[in-house]
Amino acid sequence: MNVRRLIPAAALAGAVALGATALTACSGAGATGSKDGKLGVTASFYPMQFLAEQIGKDHVKVDVLTKPGVEPHDLEITPRQTAQLGEADVVLYLKSLQPAVDKAVAQSGVKNVVDAATLTPLEAHAASGHGEEGHAHQDGDEHAGEAEGDDHGEAGTDPHVWLDPAKYAEIAKGVGAALEKADPNNAADYRKNTDELVGKLTALDTEFKDGLKNTASRTFITTHSAFGYLAERYGLDQEGISGVDPESEPSPARMKELQEVAKKENVSTVFFETLASDKTAKVLATDTGLKTDVLDPLEGITDKSQGADYFEVMRSNLKNLQKALGSK
């Protein structure tokens, strides 16, 4: 199963408290950073954008730094975007996922920041049941360093928390509380919208639990080791071809190991994602006689996505997992 290590409770509690209180500076009557009188929210990438839109609805104007079709890990921020960050009423991001965003937020001087990584415990996940670190970055990777916390040297924490509906719900609650503080005039609406979203995420969690309860295999192979939280939540084993970088080339030894895992664990499918090349998945599938299919890490929505929003794509992921694992 996936290796897990929780951030110390005291540190997490302090971080959550900071996240909840960071917005008090702009808790005057209806902060209005956008020109049309709405709360101006800048989101780092799609999962943060989705929360802002679902919770804020008509009260917010949401801008997103990572445009559709751009691989979030590779995002570069221009000086102009950094300056624009400083003009936002609220910035929503997830520290450790996008180093360029981490730097831009720090340089922008923006006061009202919500770091989703402070709103739910982060864990360290191995790419496989064999102990290979899925999020130990490649030599020279600029994700390294402070991007994944003080314990990065041993096993960096996994930032892909939104792929666990229960953890995503925890983040939604924190975002809702932040918007309430930033715009108290509309607090009741933010609270109502947060409750509705959390209810939908709880229902989605139940769908995954029921849908993956009885399967012929519990192991799945994927090009991008982004599904550690999902695997942890539903009792599955993630076998990642590469680590956090979906474009990195696996070693011949790793490919051979995965061929052996596929035979031993009754694996039928090699998953790839829509925002990265499927070349490696196809090579492994050809060598092992397996099929390929999409397992979307939901880092962005494009016309190639198997759904128009978070819920639709997650349900497509569930359907594809059920098919690959032999759901009974």
Segment 213-263, tens digit of pLDDT: 999 999 999 887 899 999 999 999 999 886 545 556 677 787 888 888 888
| Secondary structure of residue 122 in the 3-state scheme | coil
* Assigned domain for 4 exists: no
128 closest CA partner among 217, 250, 228, 215: 228
According to the model, what pLDDT value does residue 219 have? 93
Question: If we measure between CA atoms, which residue out of 215, 305, 315, 228 comes closest to residue 268?
Answer: 215
Number of domains in the chain: 2
DSSP conformation class of 163: G
| pLDDT of 27 higher than 80 | no
**Full-model pTM:** 0.80
Confidence band for 168, pLDDT divided at 50, 70 and 90: very high
Same domain? For 102 and 26 the reply is yes
- 311: three-class secondary structure by DSSP: helix
Asked, for residue 51, whether it belongs to a domain, the answer is yes
Give the side-chain half-sphere CA count within 13 A for 311. Answer: 13
Residue 44 has pLDDT above 90, yes or no: yes
**CATH code for position 164:** 3.40.50.1980
Residues 253 and 270 in one domain: yes
The answer on 194 and 148 residing in a single domain is yes
Query: Is residue 230 located within the same domain as residue 302?
Result: yes
Q: Could you give the CA distance from residue 269 to residue 180 in angstroms, rounded to a whole number?
A: 44
Q: Under a CB-based contact definition with an 8 Å cutoff, are residues 94 and 86 in contact? A: no
Nearest partner of 221 among 162, 158, 290, judged by Cα: 290
Are 179 and 220 contained in the same domain? Answer: no
- Give 223 or 278, the one with higher predicted confidence: 223
The verdict on 187 and 81 lying in the same domain is yes
* DSSP conformation class of 250: P
50 and 188 fall within a common domain: yes
172 lies in the same domain as 241? no
CA–CA distance, 325 with 191 (Å, rounded to integer): 38
Per-residue pLDDT tens over the stretch 86-135: 999 999 999 989 999 999 999 888 888 999 999 999 998 865 543 333 33
* Contact call for residues 163 and 23 (beta carbons, < 8 A): no
Q: Is residue 3 part of a domain?
A: no
Same domain, 158 and 221: no
247, burial (CB in 10 Å: exposed 0-12, middle 13-18, buried 19+): middle
**Would you place residue 273 in the very low, low, confident or very high pLDDT band (cuts 50, 70, 90)?**
confident
Is residue 186 located within the same domain as residue 253? Answer: no
Contacts of 60 (CB under 8 A, 6+ apart): 38, 39, 40, 41, 52, 53, 179
Cα–Cα distance for residue pair 235/255, rounded to 1 Å: 24
| Contact by Cβ (8 Å): 290, 310 | no
Cross-sheet strand order for the sheet of 39-43: 60-64, 39-43, 90-93, 113-115
- Residue 7 clears pLDDT 60, i.e. is over it: no
- What tens digit of pLDDT does each residue of 263-272 get? 888 898 889 8
Rg (CA), the chain: 20
pLDDT in the model for residue 247: 55
* 32 shares its domain with 149: yes
The two tokens of residue 52 are 């802002």
Q: Return d(Cα 110, Cα 87) in angstroms, integer.
A: 7
Sign of the torsion formed by the C-alpha atoms of 154, 155, 157 and 159: positive
Q: Which residue has the tokens 């899925």?
A: 134
- Among 156, 171, 205, give the residue marking a domain's end: 205
Query: Which of 205, 229, 246 is the last residue in one of the domains?
Result: 205
Full residue range of the structural domain in which residue 288 is found:
212-325
Average pLDDT (13-26) is 42
pLDDT of residue 19: 44
321 inside domain = yes
Lowest mean pLDDT among 4-18, 115-129, 174-188, 303-317: 4-18
Same domain membership, residue 227 and residue 303: yes
What is the DSSP pairing of strand 237-240 with strand 291-294? unpaired
Find the range with the poorest average confidence among 31-40, 46-55, 68-77, 150-159: 150-159
Distance between CA atoms of residues 112 and 31, nearest Å: 11
Residue that is last in its domain, among 142, 174, 205: 205
